[in-house]
Amino acid sequence: MKACKDCQVEKPLSDYHKNKNTKDGVTIVCKPCATERSRKWQSANRDRVNEVGRKNYAKNLERSRANRRERVRRWYARNPEVARAATRRWNLEHPEAKRISEAKRRVIKLGNGVFTILPKELNKLLSSKCNNCGTSEEITLDHIIPISRGGRHSIGNLQPLCQSCNSSKNAKTIMEWRSN
């Protein structure tokens, strides 16, 4: 038995963390008091804690990402309704990102090839005028060679079209569409 330095309660040695540097082989504060000390220190030094976390994440990037994916998978399995609702809400709030994601998924499924498109390039395309009618409202991304016809999801195969023109083009090539 030993009295904790913080709470002054006498507890068995099993309620203390081990410490080889002390005579009795345990720390001077019990486990609950040590946890509370740690929480207080972490909340008082939030910036330091976050910086160490970022460094550890970057140092072990692959393992960190794998751990995060696993945590997210478990959370989705435990909370399917909440996850579906959050996904629906995100899709409604980010329609263009959803379209890009769907295009990537279709290209991967067909095996056409996906290339990284930088946000800067996307913003440039989305802030351009429609290649067909010249309007600058409701601009969407269009695949010049449709994905369903073997086109790739790459910056060289994308063009800005307004929603109306993109809908009428459908899965046609530029030549087929303009000849109608």
| 8 Å CB contact between 114 and 143 | no
How many Cα neighbours within 13 Å face the side chain of 114? 14
Written as six digits, the tokens of 54 are 């970022």
The pLDDT, as a whole number, for residue 148 is 84
Domains identified in the chain and CATH numbers: 2-44 (no CATH), 95-179 (1.10.30.50)
**pLDDT at residue 6, as a whole number:** 93
Q: Per-residue confidence of the chain (180 residues) as pLDDT tens digits?
A: 999 999 999 999 999 999 999 999 999 999 999 999 999 999 999 999 999 999 999 999 999 999 999 999 999 999 999 999 999 999 999 988 898 888 888 888 887 777 778 888 888 988 999 998 999 888 988 989 888 888 888 888 899 999 999 999 988 888 888 887
Phi, psi dihedrals of residue 136, rounded to the nearest 5°:
-115, 15
pTM: 0.49
> What pLDDT is attached to residue 56?
93
Cα 169 to chain centroid, rounded: 32
* Token representation of residue 90: 């995100």
Within a 10 A sphere around the Cβ of 57, how many other Cβ atoms? Answer: 14
Task: Give the pLDDT of residue 107.
Answer: 80
